[in-house]
Structure 1
């Protein structure tokens, strides 16, 4: 096995770089965890340079799972997950300024129990880039193949992790990409590609899975959450036939009903319906009126274009603080960013990838409208799946996620029931199986938004640890 891996070192093309990072600007002292950063070239002539942050488990890195984690967008940096969802550091807003962002450690990082690769993908996300304009042009299928190629090369460079249980994870739009990568891994193992990967399963949070189903669940969700009256919901449902994405332009009754819906929801923060929108002095247009799911991380306000009149911290401020941090020269030196990136501005979510800047020529095409079929295919594999949703997320409502899970027609072994952290209800969960080899846990995270880990980090860490330990969310232990 190791001999074959060493042979691959010579056979896999491309110059790869990896560096241990001992300190980070904005955080005092040496890092209390092992952080490695680097680039791996993939695609034709290694034209696409994918950047990653790798954090070793703070528990038992030799045996703990290895996770490759993708952020959504598409086009959002993995800093979204590393700093704001499941990673060990974040911005200390209380003492930070845009001129001097300060970091702090967080207690509920998934790296307490897992080795995690945070990957910037596709090219144009975070610090990842391409050497030619043509190589920025991609789609769901190609992006997943390049991420799979990255993972193969990374494991060749890190053979000590080949035997660790491997999981693929991500949130939001990566709900499309994660199953595609998992399928690539199963295919590669079946045909004998080296190195063989010890794939055990996958996890997706607030996952974009089915374009029509996810979008069409927004209005029923809004009704369930008392944002729409019975009469308004009934009118929309009957006049649109439950189809709110692909609306017949001649169906004036449906269009009128949806206009009424939009008026009810235009000032609702769809990422977490209980949180305020960031700047109430501006007119907010509901994301529902756009009739698409292409930009799942686009907030209702573009905080870069608004005058800085905000009177209090808002969750969207993380875009500006992380950009201020990542564009500092000392940060780029500490992370060992390639010189080719020197003149490129880092943004947390690159809206140009999906055409927010040039709608006529987006570099990314969503060519896989649904991955429900992939999830169904995995039910015949030896596979564990964790699917979780913040229950106050209207971007990808948990109702749509439950719908596609139920369409798999799997036996239910644990029906809808609460799960607990600190003796309080942290959400609700169900468990599905297929034979003895496949299991799927679905969990809501009470009070969570898009994505759940950002809003409820303690609960999400406990969920993850319990799932890893025994495939349930039973109250075995609580991480405090």
Structure 2
């Protein structure tokens, strides 16, 4: 008998064919100027689109998602099982890992049939009184180990598959958590495909349940300030998770979490505004010509209308919006002549835009897997199945829940590297400025200030009250990878309430 996931995939496939044929017919009737070839290359089934994005990072996971039988031999009876971690192949350097609290664990998600969420926890290199920061990588379906080893974690992977210390890891200013989510991503897994998530309600509830269990396991950190961070598709996850934590606090559910703020890096949050910004950004950065821009106006209009039908609640209309709107992005990429859509200063060599393959090699070493306690669980670096499962969530507007949190004093930082196309700074700036809240006009009128590090301008920032926007210079999609020192300074000042101060002469780290 076919599994429920397979049946859903077949139903979704036929629905896609129907919706896309209607969308293509409508668009071709209204606007033939792009030609038939554009439709054949741009309208891609989400799995194909996901696999293309995964290959561009030189990642080749063995599975589409981490669906794995069993697991009690790993977890035992406890809902959360954690072990101290000391990675093999650590380069000889200070500080000694023996002196630091490094942990890895699994949490059995309660509102699932059999799902386990994998996480890392690194205690601060500076002080256990530092804030607790959780990081969410996007995709959807990419493991947070990408950030851990290539962006802002304590370590980086060397060319000979060993580890070195990251001088600008975010654990220098925070107690840092990385989670593999949604289910099926990274080392997180289930034996039942019904545990796959399709929307932010499921994602945020799983994260909230994990957070409650984490603080029960580590009660000494419960009083610390707590911040939610991440990038890319986490522009959806982060606002939903923050709202879930805030609501849980208001309703006195479980432990009170000392939520102070959330930060979105090069994220997708309000698709209606951000997709409209694609052609403007591409024209400004000379990725397309004026004639290309003019030809794409009708497609942009079709995208806007499709997203309005999608709304904030998801559903079948969001499938059509995904297909129509991603045609804009794909066509710009085709016209740009091999530019790296994560960093337009660079070129992609064929499908390859970055090489993150050392991460897969490292995490598949038996000595590393033994250190983590993952047993025979596969590592799925980026999951095409999770990507497809979340496709009806893609075009939803996650900005709608943010104003209420701003009014309650929860801080928001939106930052973006200036050379990223896929979640570009222009679209992010526009949705932040368009967001309706009591401080909207004063935020818009606020002066733009330089964000300086070591006496040099590293970006442009503006802020009012709990809201801050920062464009980071000389960075693409992954700001902590491209500008590691600037990113950790950004985090530290923001958490201290000093980010929008022009003076960068703060205490040294």
TM-score w.r.t. length of structure 1: 0.78
Tell me the residue number matched to 1:298. Answer: none
Shift of 1:388: 0.4
- Residues 140 and 390 in structure 2, CA contact (< 8 A), matched pair in contact too: no
- Residues 25 and 334 in structure 1, CA contact (< 8 A), matched pair in contact too: no
1:83 pairs with 126, 146, 149, which one?
A: 149
2:87 pairs with 12, 20, 23, which one?
A: 23
Tell me the residue number matched to 1:477. Answer: 506
SS in 2 for 1:317: coil
Alignment length (residue pairs): 407
For the residues of structure 2 that align with 1:330 and 1:77, how far apart are their CA atoms?
20
CA deviation vs aligned residue, 1:337-381 (integer Å, no higher than 9, x gap): 1x3xx1x431321223224xxxxxx47652671111112222211
Tell me the residue number matched to 1:219. Answer: 279
1:333 aligns with 2:370: yes
Which consecutive residues of structure 1, in runs of 5 or more, have no partner in the other structure?
Answer: 1-12, 283-300, 304-314, 356-361, 434-438
Shift of 1:228: 2.3
Spell out the pairing of 1:8-19 with structure 2 (5 A cutoff): 14-19=78-83
SS in 1 for 2:462: strand
2:421 pairs with 394, 408, 411, which one?
A: 394
Shift of 1:258: 9.3
1:354 pairs with 375, 387, 408, which one?
A: 387
The 1:456–1:258 alpha-carbon spacing in structure 2 relative to 1, beyond 3 Å, is: closer
Tell me the residue number matched to 2:478. Answer: 451
CA deviation vs aligned residue, 1:278-337 (integer Å, no higher than 9, x gap): x2xx4xxxxxxxxxxxxxxxxxx2x5xxxxxxxxxxx6211x111111111111101111
- Residues 176 and 368 in structure 1, CA contact (< 8 A), matched pair in contact too: no
- Residues 388 and 443 in structure 1, CA contact (< 8 A), matched pair in contact too: yes
- Residues 140 and 368 in structure 1, CA contact (< 8 A), matched pair in contact too: no
Tell me the residue number matched to 1:424. Answer: 456
CA deviation vs aligned residue, 1:402-434 (integer Å, no higher than 9, x gap): 11111124122742222111222101111022x
Shift of 1:229: 2.8
2:231 pairs with 156, 160, 171, which one?
A: 171
The 1:166–1:255 alpha-carbon spacing in structure 2 relative to 1, beyond 3 Å, is: closer
Q: Which has the higher contact order (CA 8 A, sep 6+)?
A: 2
For the residues of structure 1 that align with 2:84 and 2:247, how far apart are their CA atoms?
32
SS in 1 for 2:143: coil
Tell me the residue number matched to 1:182. Answer: 242
TM-score w.r.t. length of structure 2: 0.74
For the residues of structure 2 that align with 1:397 and 1:22, how far apart are their CA atoms?
37
For the residues of structure 2 that align with 1:262 and 1:16, how far apart are their CA atoms?
43
Tell me the residue number matched to 2:28. Answer: none
The 1:22–1:431 alpha-carbon spacing in structure 2 relative to 1, beyond 3 Å, is: same
- Residues 137 and 364 in structure 1, CA contact (< 8 A), matched pair in contact too: no
For the residues of structure 1 that align with 2:234 and 2:472, how far apart are their CA atoms?
19
Which consecutive residues of structure 2, in runs of 5 or more, have no partner in the other structure?
Answer: 1-76, 308-319
1:317 aligns with 2:355: yes
2:254 pairs with 191, 194, 203, which one?
A: 194
Shift of 1:86: 1.2
SS in 2 for 1:349: coil
- Residues 133 and 229 in structure 2, CA contact (< 8 A), matched pair in contact too: yes
Shift of 1:33: 3.5
Tell me the residue number matched to 1:230. Answer: 290
Shift of 1:216: 2.3
For the residues of structure 2 that align with 1:73 and 1:145, how far apart are their CA atoms?
19
The 1:244–1:160 alpha-carbon spacing in structure 2 relative to 1, beyond 3 Å, is: same
The 1:367–1:387 alpha-carbon spacing in structure 2 relative to 1, beyond 3 Å, is: closer
Tell me the residue number matched to 1:36. Answer: 103
- Residues 276 and 300 in structure 2, CA contact (< 8 A), matched pair in contact too: no
- Residues 25 and 331 in structure 1, CA contact (< 8 A), matched pair in contact too: no
SS in 1 for 2:345: coil
| C-alpha RMSD of matched pairs (Å) | 2.8
For the residues of structure 1 that align with 2:118 and 2:111, how far apart are their CA atoms?
17
For the residues of structure 2 that align with 1:372 and 1:275, how far apart are their CA atoms?
31
CA deviation vs aligned residue, 1:169-193 (integer Å, no higher than 9, x gap): 1111011011111111111111111
Spell out the pairing of 1:42-441 with structure 2 (5 A cutoff): 42-44=109-111, 47-61=114-128, 63-93=129-159, 96=160, 101-237=161-297, 239-240=298-299, 242=301, 261=332, 263-277=334-348, 279=349, 282=350, 301=351, 316-318=354-356, 320-337=357-374, 339=375, 342=376, 344-355=377-388, 362=389, 365-366=392-393, 369-409=396-436, 410=440, 411-412=442-443, 414-433=446-465, 439-441=466-468
- Residues 421 and 478 in structure 1, CA contact (< 8 A), matched pair in contact too: no
For the residues of structure 2 that align with 1:354 and 1:230, how far apart are their CA atoms?
33
The 1:258–1:114 alpha-carbon spacing in structure 2 relative to 1, beyond 3 Å, is: closer
The 1:333–1:243 alpha-carbon spacing in structure 2 relative to 1, beyond 3 Å, is: same
CA deviation vs aligned residue, 1:33-55 (integer Å, no higher than 9, x gap): 32111011113366211011000
CA deviation vs aligned residue, 1:220-240 (integer Å, no higher than 9, x gap): 111111222334324433x44
SS in 2 for 1:57: coil
For the residues of structure 1 that align with 2:508 and 2:249, how far apart are their CA atoms?
35
- Residues 55 and 117 in structure 1, CA contact (< 8 A), matched pair in contact too: yes
